[in-house]
Amino acid sequence: MNAVTEHQFRSKSSAAKTRETATFWLFRAATYLVLLCGAAVFATIIFKGAGTVLQATPPFVKTSFLTEAPETLHVFEFQGQKREMGDKEFRAFKAANPAAASIRAESYVYSAGGIFPAIVGTVLLVVGSMTIALFLGICAAIYLQEYARDGRFIRFVRLAILNLAGVPSIVFGLFGYGLFVIGFKLFGIQFFGWHVSLLAGWFTLAFMVLPVIITASEESLKAVPKGFREGSLALGATQWQTIRKNVLPYALPGILTSSILGIARVAGETAPIMFTAAYVVRDKLPWEIERLSDFFFQGVMALPYHIYVVSSKIPQNEYTERVQYGTAFVFLVIVAIIAAASIILRNRLRKRYQW
Amino acid sequence: MERTGSNHFTRTVLTTRRRFRFFGLTTEDLIRSFFGGNAVVAIVVLALITIFLLKEGAGFFGQNRENLQIYRQAGLEYVDFMRGQVEGHTTLTRSLSALRLQQFQASTAAGLGAEAANAALTDFDAFSDKFSDTVTPLRGMVSDLTDVATAIKEKFIIAGDKREERRQLEAVGRDADAAKVQIAEVNFTTEIRPLLDARPAYLEASRDLGTALTALLAAAPVLAGPDAAVALEEFKATTRAYVAGFPEIARRVETWDYTLPVPLGKSLSAFVFGREWLTASFWQDWYGIIPLLVGSIMVSLVALLLAVPLGVGAAIYINQVATPREQQLIKPAIEFISAIPSVVLGFFGIAVLGEALRQLSGVSWLDWVPGFPFSERLNILTAGCLLALISVPTIFTLSEDALNNVPRSFKEASFALGANRLQTILRIIVPASLSGIISAVLLGLGRVIGETMVVLLCAGNRIAIPDFTAGLGVVTQPVHTMTGIIAQEMGEVVQGSIHYRALFMVGLVLFFIALAINYAAQKIVRRYRISIG
């Protein structure tokens, strides 16, 4: 019996073996610790924010939080009852109850109402800047991948892209502020100088995300087999015809999918829009304008900036907590959906396109 | 007949078809240059960033020089010598009261009643009162001189404002109004006289203070207990050193000359080596980058100390140890973490992590950790933990790529020689991919040092160099960072003011740090890449 179990090649427990197992467990612990930390952040925000955004009865979402503008919250005691009201409601209440006219209420700014203007602003910022970035980025990638021959100039362009990717977002904010918001005078003509506006925010964000888009687009173009191009060229098509008919259609899904990660980045950044596009609060919605041109030159509220404002400019207590966690919840969910979509689509795409 | 006609037709079409040309360029060329133009955007943007940061920041040195010049001309520098002396005395007095408190607590702990403990300290109190009284004449004098200097500076600023007003009126052509603007030019020679006249009186007061302190020290009371005696001796030594510094201060006061011009280099060194960032102060504004730079570096160091083991460890695990199923799940999950917006993490830090860490630091069995317990919930540690979470995905993804690029044959050869998996990983695979891992860490550092929202919300925003005498406990102090200061103050400054330009200078420093890190990362990858083949 013994002879069977203790055969010559059985794995012996040695010091080296123990050390190996222990080290592997350390590595494993590191991995799961990282995941745990990420999950903890998610769980906290989802768990605490769900109360503001979701409800137990259909339609399960508190639409008022998503469709109203932020208001000041008033907390007061009236006839022995503790009441909380938004600004509009509070005024109506005062008008209806003369006894309440002289009531003293504690007020917390932005803690009532919803975050609709911020959501709209973020969507506008993302759509505009991604349009600019995708146009510039895809064109640049086509040049680099299809037209350019390796040379000093191309190496210089690549170096610039690589370095642009490493520039901190706040520096992009400063740059956008200096160029687009303030502008400069050359020979007495004012260039740019758009003040705090959507347009300034679009370009600042677009330049920030440009390296991501270019790299993603190049990768997708590279994935299209060489034979596609050679076949087309051999049939007498010009290079542009080849690119348009035989390369871009196959590369486009990949380009768009990889670029979704750029959307997550654009939506999530606060620093570049702080002084180029974002307002702390704005009563009017972006489409409430007199002339069409005003649309581009207006500042907007944005979700990330709103989170910054509500988490740093107002005190932390049970009344303000709702809007803080609620906004973070909505924002995190939006960004997470975008990011998850990009990761899943990319993985799927990798499997599908294998020429 | 027909056939030849068709041939002829084809030939004519092929040979005579004129290509569309625009300035001698064909359509193909135009399309090509259009795409090329878009590729140049990256270079243009990079150049524009540099130009605009330089353009807005360059004016800083001239303005700061003016700022330092008026600091000297209005006599603020002169009064600061004396203020330093008075502040030194205040510090000493404070350490005396700290000593008293310690002594009082020691005697009550030993079972003495509060009254008895106070009674035992009567001598000490008398000494301490006398000690703090010694500086009164000097303090009064310095306070008067402070007012004088501030008034001169005020006058100078008003004159500058008026001059600007006149210039603007002239610019719009209202010369009559411009002529009406009264400009009270400041004559520094006469204005500064009261300050200079106070010199002999100050020197005497300083000398008196010195003798009074020396006499007091000789008659210092004796404190019970060996610890207290040592502390008292220490106090005496500090005081003696303080008094010994008087002649130096006197020399500075005597040789001080308000007419000396401030060189431009001083303006530069005041920024690069300035240990104070003080704005909107009633006395004098300072724009020194050191506290911000130190803050940024400290936060990044803490973040990397946490993130490098975790990120690289996870990369090794996923690449070498994990099952394929684990790989498939964990890789996207970690990438997913990188999508958490930094402002959400910053909010998490304010709302949850800061308080949690403070509670943790209060746990009694964690007393041995340096810096624990701490009272500021927003500090280097809080910001560093969150930044670590931000940089882990970067470090993980790039390290994993580097590990993946190590050829299979390396591993196989190692196994064939009888090494086990751990030995193969640590001796073969990690060293072979070290350049990639190092560059991953560098890019993680770039990510961390440029991160704004987390440090703005969670680093505590106290503009001061942290107290390094606390040893490792320094990580529990609040700091301010370069990115944070730009985000915080940019919205409030007047465009074109010195403060505004100072912020652009900080941005410029940040930009070049980022470029340097990026450059180093690329260089390392290229230089130390092992040839695979």
Of B46, B451, B507, the CB nearest to A160: B46
Looking at the structure, tell me whether residues B50 and B85 fall in a common domain: no
- Whether B6 maps to a domain, the answer reads yes
pTM for this predicted structure:
0.87
CB contact under 8 A, A166 and B504: no
Write down the pLDDT at residue A273.
92
Residue B167 contacts A, CB cutoff 8 Å? no
List, as own/partner pairs, every contact residues B495-502 make where C-beta atoms lie below 8 angstroms and the sequence separation is at least 24, other chains included.
B495/A182, B496/B59, B497/B63, B498/B60, B498/B63, B498/B64, B498/B67, B498/B285, B498/B287, B499/B279, B499/B280, B499/B285, B499/B287, B500/B56, B501/B56, B501/B57, B501/B58, B501/B59, B501/B60, B501/B63, B502/B60, B502/B64, B502/B271, B502/B287
Which residues of chain A are within 8 Å of residue B494 when distances are taken between CB atoms?
none
Instruction: Name the minimum distance, in Å, from the CA of B510 to any CA of chain A.
Output: 8
Residue B54 contacts A, CB cutoff 8 Å? no
- Whether B365 maps to a domain, the answer reads yes
Write down the pLDDT at residue B209.
85
What is the C-alpha separation between B154 and B75, in angstroms, rounded? 12
Looking at the structure, tell me whether residues B369 and B415 fall in a common domain: yes
Instruction: Name the minimum distance, in Å, from the CA of A87 to any CA of chain B.
Output: 25
Closest by CA to A125, choosing from A7, A262, A227, is A262
Looking at the structure, tell me whether residues B83 and B42 fall in a common domain: no
Residue B319 contacts A, CB cutoff 8 Å? no
- The number of C-alpha atoms within 13 Å of B402 and in the hemisphere containing its C-beta is 30
- Angle, to 10 degrees, between the axis of helix A198-223 and the axis of helix A116-142? 40
Instruction: Name the minimum distance, in Å, from the CA of B15 to any CA of chain A.
Output: 16
Closest by CA to B337, choosing from B398, B382, B394, is B394
**Which one is predicted more confidently, A275 or B314?**
B314
Write down the pLDDT at residue B170.
85
**What are the pLDDT digits (tens) for B261-300?**
888 888 889 899 988 898 887 788 889 999 999 999 999 9
Q: Number of structural domains, chain B?
A: 3
Q: Which ipTM value was assigned to this complex?
A: 0.90
What is the C-alpha separation between B20 and B188, in angstroms, rounded? 75
Q: How far apart are the first and last CA of chain B?
A: 66
Give, in degrees to the nearest 5, the angle at Cα B190 between B189 and B191: 95
Write down the pLDDT at residue A6.
66
Which residues of chain A are within 8 Å of residue B347 when distances are taken between CB atoms?
307, 311, 324, 328
Residue B522 contacts A, CB cutoff 8 Å? yes
Write down the pLDDT at residue A104.
78
Write down the pLDDT at residue B377.
87
Instruction: Name the minimum distance, in Å, from the CA of B462 to any CA of chain A.
Output: 15
Looking at the structure, tell me whether residues B225 and B80 fall in a common domain: yes
- Integer angstrom CA distances of residue B157 from B67, B161, B164, B166: 11, 6, 11, 14
For A84, the token pair is: 């909380």
Looking at the structure, tell me whether residues B310 and B436 fall in a common domain: yes
Write down the pLDDT at residue B335.
85
Helix or strand holding residue A111 (H, E) = strand A106-113
Whether omega before B373 lies within 30 degrees of 0, making that bond cis, reads: yes
For B198, the token pair is: 């106070």
- Whether B342 maps to a domain, the answer reads yes
Looking at the structure, tell me whether residues B39 and B87 fall in a common domain: no
**Which one is predicted more confidently, A66 or B314?**
B314
Helix or strand holding residue A72 (H, E) = strand A70-78
**What are the pLDDT digits (tens) for B202-212?**
888 888 888 88
CB contact under 8 A, A170 and B450: yes
CB B262 within 8 A of CB B72: yes
CB contact under 8 A, B39 and A143: yes
Of A45, A158, A175, A276, which to mutate for an interface test with B (greatest number of B Cβ within 10 Å)? Answer: A175
Looking at the structure, tell me whether residues B200 and B130 fall in a common domain: yes
CB contact under 8 A, B491 and A23: no
Q: Which residue of B has its CA nearest to A274?
A: B487
- Whether B499 maps to a domain, the answer reads no
Looking at the structure, tell me whether residues B50 and B83 fall in a common domain: no
CB A106 within 8 A of CB A76: yes
- The number of C-alpha atoms within 13 Å of B77 and in the hemisphere containing its C-beta is 18
Whether the pLDDT of residue B530 is over 70: the answer is: no
| Listed residues B450, B474, B498: the one ending a domain | B474
Write down the pLDDT at residue A38.
94
Residue B243 contacts A, CB cutoff 8 Å? no
Closest by CA to A272, choosing from A182, A169, A183, is A169
Whether the pLDDT of residue B13 is over 60: the answer is: no
Write down the pLDDT at residue B2.
47
Any idea what the CATH number is for the domain that residue B326 is in?
A: 1.10.3720.10
- Whether B495 maps to a domain, the answer reads no
Of B25, B34, B38, which to mutate for an interface test with A (greatest number of A Cβ within 10 Å)? Answer: B38
| Listed residues B430, B449, B474: the one ending a domain | B474
**Which one is predicted more confidently, B175 or B482?**
B482
In CATH, which of 3.40.50.300, 2.40.50.100, 2.40.30.170, 1.10.3720.10 is domain A116-352? 1.10.3720.10
DSSP A100: G
Instruction: Name the minimum distance, in Å, from the CA of B446 to any CA of chain A.
Output: 7
Which residues of chain A are within 8 Å of residue B337 when distances are taken between CB atoms?
34-35, 37-38
Average pLDDT estimate for B312-334: 92
Looking at the structure, tell me whether residues B28 and B173 fall in a common domain: no
- Return the number of other C-beta atoms located less than 10 Å from residue A52's C-beta: 21
CB contact under 8 A, A139 and B522: no
Instruction: Name the minimum distance, in Å, from the CA of B218 to any CA of chain A.
Output: 53
Which residues of chain B are within 8 Å of residue A239 when distances are taken between CB atoms?
28, 32
Per-residue model confidence as pLDDT tens for chain A (355 residues): 455 556 777 766 788 888 989 999 999 999 999 999 999 999 999 999 888 888 877 778 888 888 888 888 888 888 778 888 888 888 888 888 877 777 778 888 888 888 899 999 999 999 999 999 999 999 999 999 989 888 888 888 888 898 888 899 999 999 999 889 988 888 778 888 888 899 999 999 999 999 989 988 998 899 899 999 999 999 999 899 999 999 998 888 888 877 887 888 898 899 999 989 988 888 888 888 888 888 888 889 999 999 999 988 888 888 888 889 999 999 999 988 888 888 788 777 767 665 5
CB contact under 8 A, B341 and A304: yes
Residues found in chain B: 533
pLDDT winner (highest mean) among A213-217, B106-110, B187-191, B483-487: B483-487
Which residues of chain B are within 8 Å of residue A335 when distances are taken between CB atoms?
339-341, 344
Percent of chain B with pLDDT over 70: 95
Closest by CA to B131, choosing from B228, B263, B239, is B239
**What are the pLDDT digits (tens) for B498-524?**
899 999 999 999 999 999 999 999 888
Q: What is the largest CA-CA distance in chain B?
A: 136
Give, in degrees to the nearest 5, the angle at Cα B429 between B427 and B431: 65
Give, in degrees to the nearest 5, the angle at Cα A164 between A346 and A302: 70
For A312, the token pair is: 């740093």
- Whether B273 maps to a domain, the answer reads no
Instruction: Name the minimum distance, in Å, from the CA of B329 to any CA of chain A.
Output: 11
**What are the pLDDT digits (tens) for B350-374?**
999 999 998 888 888 887 888 788 8
Chain A and chain B share a number of CB contacts under 8 A equal to 262
Look over chain B and give the mean of its residue pLDDT values, rounded to a whole number: 86
Q: Phi and psi at residue A109, in whole multiples of 5°?
A: -70, 150
Residue B348 contacts A, CB cutoff 8 Å? yes
Whether the pLDDT of residue B386 is over 50: the answer is: yes
Which residues of chain A are within 8 Å of residue B54 when distances are taken between CB atoms?
none
For A153, the token pair is: 């100039």
- Whether B128 maps to a domain, the answer reads yes
By the 10 Å C-beta count (0-12 exposed, 13-18 middle, 19+ buried), B172 is classed as: exposed
What is the C-alpha separation between A67 and A114, in angstroms, rounded? 6
Looking at the structure, tell me whether residues B116 and B45 fall in a common domain: no
- Return the number of other C-beta atoms located less than 10 Å from residue B378's C-beta: 23
Q: Which residue of B has its CA nearest to A340?
A: B336
Q: Which residue of A has its CA nearest to B44?
A: A160
Q: Is B533 helix (H, G, I), strand (E, B) or coil?
A: coil
Helix or strand holding residue B103 (H, E) = helix B76-109
Which residues of chain B are within 8 Å of residue A45 when distances are taken between CB atoms?
344, 348
Whether the pLDDT of residue B14 is over 70: the answer is: no
Among B residues 62-101, those touching chain A with beta carbons less than 8 Å apart: none
Write down the pLDDT at residue A172.
94
Q: For residue B8, what pLDDT band results from cuts at 50, 70 and 90? A: low
Domain that holds residue B169: 76-257
Average pLDDT estimate for B398-422: 91
Write down the pLDDT at residue B11.
59
Looking at the structure, tell me whether residues B200 and B157 fall in a common domain: yes
CB contact under 8 A, A307 and B310: no
Looking at the structure, tell me whether residues B139 and B21 fall in a common domain: no
DSSP-assigned beta bridge partners for residue B277: B287
Average pLDDT estimate for B419-446: 92
Average pLDDT estimate for B37-59: 88
CB contact under 8 A, B46 and A270: no
- Whether B530 maps to a domain, the answer reads no
Domain residue ranges of chain A, discontinuous segments joined by +: 63-113, 116-352
